[in-house]
């Protein structure tokens, strides 16, 4: 049994299409995904605004809320909660050059409209958390944006969301690149600085995704620990990533088990989950996976997380602290390796 509650998004069960080829698996409807998420042991679902309310651009505010209420009823049916809603500011023609930092005022207004609607949807789904994955908030052409102006645009946009609703919490999911070339807010350090500059810093935190930290050349466990030092790790997206390549969203721990162990260890040591935080997975099945195995990567990630949780529970802190005091780091390293390998 795990001490944590887990969450996952509908996009984590997908058709396998990538930039170079078509779908390799069939579409699965939302209710079927909910049923399977519950069966696998997930407690909550993460949403983009249009995962919850498809086609919201062409709906009135009341129609959007009414549709969100139907999704809430479906969640209730499977005893699932909604964890967060994230405005999808990267698929629409209006977000070609980003949202809050777009060079077009009309597009910036569209980004705010989607953000306000995401807050409305979140409230109907019973969550106070908005995630901002800043997909295109940066530059494709370095000279196209003044980074100082762009950073202030982000702070202003967040302030407007905080003013729109006095309960909502905003959680930035930083990523250093992809699909844009250079992000404006690419790491957890950036997120903490932006948070501090808003009108209500305690309502603005971060979502650390393992793969995004690795893409930035940083250690995911240290990024988690950094945000937790400020009490601002509102959620996590655990997964894995083979070095600095395209964003892979591999199953948790499959590339670097020691780094995965240290992510679980830092979460446990700092009482992640005590304020109701979920352990979110943001993992994708391989393109070669069959329809029948559409959920295997979720099962595998949960299994790896729980196995590492057991390893952390068995971690001999007295022994480790003695080694640390004597600066016997070779022995400390090997103790950790032996624990992970199942040799102690
Ligand atoms: C993209 C990514 C997104 C966000 C949600 O890299 O991680 O799926 O987690 O918008
Ligand atoms: Mn993510």
Write the DSSP assignment of 90-127 as a string of letters: SSSGGGBTBSTT-S-HHHHHHHHHHHHHHHHHHHHHT-
Full domain range(s) for residue 128:
6-311
Q: Whose CA is closest to atom 3 on ligand 1?
A: 133
Q: What's the pLDDT score for residue 156?
A: 98
Q: Whose CA is closest to atom 6 on ligand 1?
A: 247
* pLDDT tens digits for range 140-160: 999 999 999 999 999 999 999
Residues 327 and 237 in one domain: no
- State if residue 84 touches ligand 1 by the CB under 6 angstroms criterion: no
Q: What's the pLDDT score for residue 1?
A: 79
The number of the ligand 1 atom at minimal distance from the alpha carbon of 133 is: 10
Residues 133 and 243 in one domain: yes
Average pLDDT, the chain: 98
Give mean pLDDT, residues 59-83. Answer: 98
Residues 38 and 50 in one domain: yes
Closest ligand to the CA of 247: 1
Residues 287 and 344 in one domain: no
Residues 213 and 178 in one domain: yes
Residues 329 and 195 in one domain: no
Structure tokens at 304: 């790896």
Of the residues 19, 83, 86, which should be mutated to test ligand 1's pocket, given the most ligand atoms within 8 Å of the CB? Answer: 86
Confidence of residue 104 (pLDDT cuts 50, 70, 90): very high
CA–CA gap between residue 86 and residue 195 (Å, rounded): 17
- Report whether 53 contacts 68 (CB < 8 A): yes
Give mean pLDDT, residues 109-124. Answer: 99
- State if residue 50 touches ligand 1 by the CB under 6 angstroms criterion: no
Q: Considering the chain, what percentage of its residues have pLDDT values greater than 70?
A: 100
- State if residue 209 touches ligand 1 by the CB under 6 angstroms criterion: yes
Query: How many domains does one find in the chain?
Result: 2
* pLDDT tens digits for range 184-215: 999 999 999 999 999 999 999 999 999 999 99
Give mean pLDDT, residues 260-271. Answer: 98
Residues 136 and 285 in one domain: yes
- Is 199 contained in some domain? yes
Residues 100 and 31 in one domain: yes
- Is 1 contained in some domain? no
CA–CA gap between residue 137 and residue 158 (Å, rounded): 13
- Is 93 contained in some domain? yes
- Is 56 contained in some domain? yes
Residues 320 and 294 in one domain: no
Residues 128 and 66 in one domain: yes
Q: Which residues pair with 227 in a beta bridge?
A: none
- State if residue 255 touches ligand 1 by the CB under 6 angstroms criterion: no
CA–CA gap between residue 122 and residue 74 (Å, rounded): 15
| Domain harbouring 27, CATH code | 3.20.20.150
- State if residue 219 touches ligand 1 by the CB under 6 angstroms criterion: no
Residues 129 and 60 in one domain: yes
Q: Report which of 276, 264, 87 is spatially closest to residue 173, judged by C-alpha positions.
A: 87
Half-sphere exposure of 269 (CA within 13 A, CB side): 17
Q: What angle do CA 5, 321, 342 make, to 5 degrees?
A: 60
């Amino acid at each position: 049994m795990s001490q944590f509650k887990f969450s996952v998004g509908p996009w984590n069960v997908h058709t396998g299409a990538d930039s170079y080829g078509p779908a390799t698996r069939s579409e699965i409807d939302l209710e079927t995904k909910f049923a399977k998420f519950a069966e696998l042991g997930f407690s909550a679902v993460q949403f983009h605004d249009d995962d919850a309310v498809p086609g919201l651009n062409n709906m009135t505010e009341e129609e959007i809320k009414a549709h969100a209420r139907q999704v809430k009823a479906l969640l209730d049916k499977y005893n699932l909660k909604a964890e967060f809603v994230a405005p999808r500011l990267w698929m629409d023609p209006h977000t070609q050059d980003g949202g809050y930092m777009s060079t077009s005022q009309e597009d910036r207004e569209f980004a705010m409209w989607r953000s306000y609607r995401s807050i409305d949807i979140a409230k109907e789904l019973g969550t106070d958390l908005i995630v901002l994955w800043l997909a295109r908030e940066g530059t494709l052409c370095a000279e196209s944006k003044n980074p100082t102006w762009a950073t202030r645009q982000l702070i202003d946009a967040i302030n407007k969301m905080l003013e729109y609703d006095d309960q909502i919490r905003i959680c930035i999911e930083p990523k250093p690149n992809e699909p844009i070339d250079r992000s404006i807010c690419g790491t957890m350090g950036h997120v903490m600085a932006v948070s501090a500059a808003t009108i209500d810093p305690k309502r603005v935190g971060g979502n650390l995704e393992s793969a995004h930290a690795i893409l930035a050349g940083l250690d995911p466990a240290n990024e988690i620990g950094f945000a937790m030092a400020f009490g601002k790790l509102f959620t996590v997206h655990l997964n894995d990533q083979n070095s600095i390549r395209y964003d892979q969203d591999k199953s948790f721990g499959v590339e670097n088990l020691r780094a995965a162990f240290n992510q679980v260890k830092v979460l446990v040591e700092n009482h992640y989950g005590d304020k109701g935080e979920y352990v979110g997975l943001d993992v994708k099945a391989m393109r070669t996976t069959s329809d029948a195995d559409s959920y295997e990567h979720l099962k595998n990630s949960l299994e790896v997380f729980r196995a590492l949780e057991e390893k952390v529970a068995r971690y001999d802190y007295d022994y480790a602290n003695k080694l640390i005091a004597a600066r016997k780091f070779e022995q400390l390293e090997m103790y950790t390796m032996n624990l992970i390998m199942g040799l102690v």
